[in-house]
């Protein structure tokens, strides 16, 4: 059996991806489930996070979001039995690569997959669904009538976040990074043939001439947005940032400006720096900043029940047509290395899924 791994010889070097031949699986434990993988979604290997939590190793398993069929179960497994269809995200410390025909997974990382769902859709929606739930259910619960700004809404994560927010009754505003993204967002409709668009306003930032803060304040009658979900922000002045980043990402001051009273800013910017004037503006609005790191669910088992409930709910919304993921055509195993290189460089605009 072949399995895909990432290799980084020295810090700062570009990551390479290699197939390793596996003769057999490690001995299974009482709570392990042996899964025949049918599809595996590709996501970036976060080398910085792995180094920070002391999980950096020479060969890092690639591909963690899987869907497949249960082959065997350990003696103490209670939730699954052979021939069950399952989905799951392999934990950060897993020795298993999801880009492999058969893997061993602890039962607490798996959830049931509805039979009518195709393998690629199930695997391809897991991570983005988990991120959207973490942001809009736990960090900043969305309620009917609230306004939500989703930056880069045409990305795989952005589109699922938009669909979840609109399903919860929110008014959604989004930014588009290209004309193609703008057209995609304007065409988005809720499930059930409703004509009303999912996104109330699409702000095209591809030319760098549109003021995001001004557009959001105009859309909300000057009240500001209740929830902001960013895709990264500019921390410095235009001269100190790369040109591409300047054009597409709003400045942190813009985000603070467009937040309403009691607003919640959910950021993916791990190195966010807030100066005293920024903090003072947030204080005056009674606003909060939360950091979106979906890996916390698997780094601590304290809330394992909630985590599994999220996975089950993602599958439910996917089977009911509420979630419609941004997926590329399924990729055969022999193209996995090339696809993973594209994903690692952040060049994929749709979710890449390997199908077995």
Average pLDDT value over all residues in the chain: 90
**pLDDT for the residue 48:** 84
Residues 326, 160: Cα–Cα separation, whole Å: 8
Please check whether residue 60 is in contact with residue 16, taking contact to mean a CB–CB distance below 8 angstroms: no
Q: Rounded to 5 degrees, what are φ and ψ at 340?
A: -65, -35
pLDDT 10s digits, 107-144: 999 999 999 999 999 999 999 999 999 999 999 999 99
pLDDT bucket at 56, cuts 50 / 70 / 90: confident
- Mean pLDDT check: name the lowest of 20-29, 200-209, 275-284, 329-338: 20-29
Percent of the chain at pLDDT > 70 equals 95
**pLDDT for the residue 22:** 82
Mean pLDDT confidence for 334-351: 92
* Cβ-based burial of 318 (10 A; exposed 0-12, middle 13-18, buried ≥19): buried
Please check whether residue 70 is in contact with residue 80, taking contact to mean a CB–CB distance below 8 angstroms: yes
Residues 243, 241: Cα–Cα separation, whole Å: 6
Whether the predicted pLDDT of 191 surpasses 80: no
Query: Is the model more confident about 8 or about 189?
Result: 189
pLDDT bucket at 103, cuts 50 / 70 / 90: very high
**pLDDT for the residue 242:** 58
pLDDT 10s digits, 153-186: 999 999 999 999 999 999 999 999 999 999 999 9
Mean pLDDT confidence for 336-345: 92
How far are the Cα atoms of 150, 161, 189, 337 from residue 217, in angstroms, in the given order?
15, 21, 24, 45
Mean pLDDT confidence for 42-68: 88
For the beta carbon of residue 37, count every other beta carbon within 10 angstroms. 24
Please check whether residue 167 is in contact with residue 317, taking contact to mean a CB–CB distance below 8 angstroms: yes
Rounded to a whole number of angstroms, the distance between the first and last alpha carbons of the chain is: 12
pLDDT bucket at 192, cuts 50 / 70 / 90: low
């Amino acid at each position: 059996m072949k399995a895909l791994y990432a290799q980084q010889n020295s810090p700062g070097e570009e990551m390479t991806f290699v197939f390793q031949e596996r003769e057999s699986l490690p001995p299974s434990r009482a709570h392990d489930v042996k899964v025949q993988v049918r599809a595996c979604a590709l996501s970036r290997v976060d080398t910085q996070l792995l180094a920070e939590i002391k999980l950096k190793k020479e060969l890092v398993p690639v591909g963690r979001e899987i869907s497949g069929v249960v082959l065997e179960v350990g003696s103490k497994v209670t939730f699954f039995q052979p021939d069950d269809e399952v989905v799951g995200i392999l934990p950060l410390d897993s020795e298993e690569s999801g880009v492999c025909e058969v893997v061993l997974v602890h039962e607490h990382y798996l959830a049931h997959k509805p039979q009518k769902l195709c393998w690629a859709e199930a695997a391809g929606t897991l991570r983005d669904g988990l991120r959207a739930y973490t942001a809009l259910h736990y960090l900043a619960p969305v309620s009917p009538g609230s306004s939500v700004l989703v930056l880069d809404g045409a990305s795989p994560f952005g589109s699922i976040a938009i669909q979840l927010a609109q399903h919860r009754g929110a008014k959604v505003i989004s930014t588009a990074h290209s004309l193609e993204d703008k057209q995609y967002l304007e065409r988005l409709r809720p499930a059930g043939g409703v004509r009303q668009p999912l996104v109330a306003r699409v702000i095209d930032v591809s030319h760098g001439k549109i003021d995001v803060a001004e557009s959001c304040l105009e859309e909300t009658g000057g009240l500001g947005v209740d929830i902001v979900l960013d895709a990264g922000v500019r921390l410095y002045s235009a001269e100190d940032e790369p040109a591409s980043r300047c054009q597409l990402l709003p400045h942190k001051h813009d985000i603070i400006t467009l937040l309403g009273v009691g607003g919640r800013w959910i950021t993916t910017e791990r190195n966010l720096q807030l100066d005293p004037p920024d903090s003072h503006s947030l204080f005056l609005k009674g606003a909060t900043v939360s950091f979106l790191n979906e890996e916390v669910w698997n780094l601590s088992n304290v809330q394992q029940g909630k985590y599994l409930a999220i996975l089950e709910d993602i599958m439910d919304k996917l089977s009911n047509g509420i979630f419609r993921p941004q997926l590329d055509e399924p990729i055969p195993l022999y193209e996995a290395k090339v696809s993973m290189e594209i994903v690692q460089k952040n060049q994929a605009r749709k979710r890449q899924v390997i199908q077995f």
